[in-house]
């Protein structure tokens, strides 16, 4: 009986995570289409490989869920004919997207370019 309850709980958890991933994927694709944008992903394969070496299972779980969301965004974008690009995550947040100068961490999760005065959130900035 306990095994059956655990199995049911696992299925419910999986269903909920897939539901959220599909909703986020659909929203991401709709936003990209609305703004005529290209969807750019950091290539997380290296992070997943490193997470397997980690002892913390929650790190593995978060990367697993990120990959599930990424998968849903990718297929929803392809359904709509949107372009997808993968980039190496190394130092993507430290190159100014306007002038290619080095960005400086200005605190509060923002990066600033001293050359052209560009300011952006460090999780959004991409060269």
Mean pLDDT value of segment 106-126: 82
The per-residue pLDDT for range 39-77, each reduced to its tens digit, is 888 776 665 555 555 555 555 556 677 888 889 999 999
| 6 plus 64 within the same structural domain | yes
Question: Does 97 lie in the same domain as 53?
Answer: no
pLDDT number for residue 29: 93
Are 116 and 101 spatial neighbours (Cβ–Cβ below 8 Å)? yes
**Closest-CA residue to 83 (of 36, 120, 117):** 36
What is the CB neighbour count within 10 angstroms for residue 91? 10
> Does residue 104 share a domain with residue 82?
no
pLDDT in tens, 79-101: 999 999 888 777 666 788 788 88
Cα gap 16→22, rounded to integer Å: 10
**What's the CA dihedral at 31, 43, 75, 122 to 10 degrees?**
-10
Q: What is the pTM of this model?
A: 0.61
Q: 23 and 79 in one domain?
A: yes
pLDDT at res. 51: 52
Residues 18 and 43 in one domain: yes
Whether residues 110 and 67 share a domain: the answer is: no
Residue 123 structural domain: 91-127
């Amino acid at each position: 009986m306990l095994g059956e309850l655990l199995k049911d709980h696992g299925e419910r958890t999986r269903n909920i995570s897939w539901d959220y991933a599909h909703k986020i994927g659909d929203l991401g694709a709709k936003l990209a289409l609305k703004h005529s944008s290209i969807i750019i992903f950091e290539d997380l394969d290296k992070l997943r490989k490193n997470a397997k070496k980690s002892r913390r299972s929650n790190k593995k779980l978060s990367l697993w869920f990120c990959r599930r969301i990424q998968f849903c965004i990718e297929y929803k974008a392809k359904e709509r004919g949107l372009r997808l690009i993968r980039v190496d995550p190394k130092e993507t947040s430290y190159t100014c997207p306007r002038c290619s100068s080095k960005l400086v961490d200005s605190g509060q999760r923002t990066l600033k370019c001293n050359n052209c005065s560009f300011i952006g959130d460090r999780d959004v900035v991409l060269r």
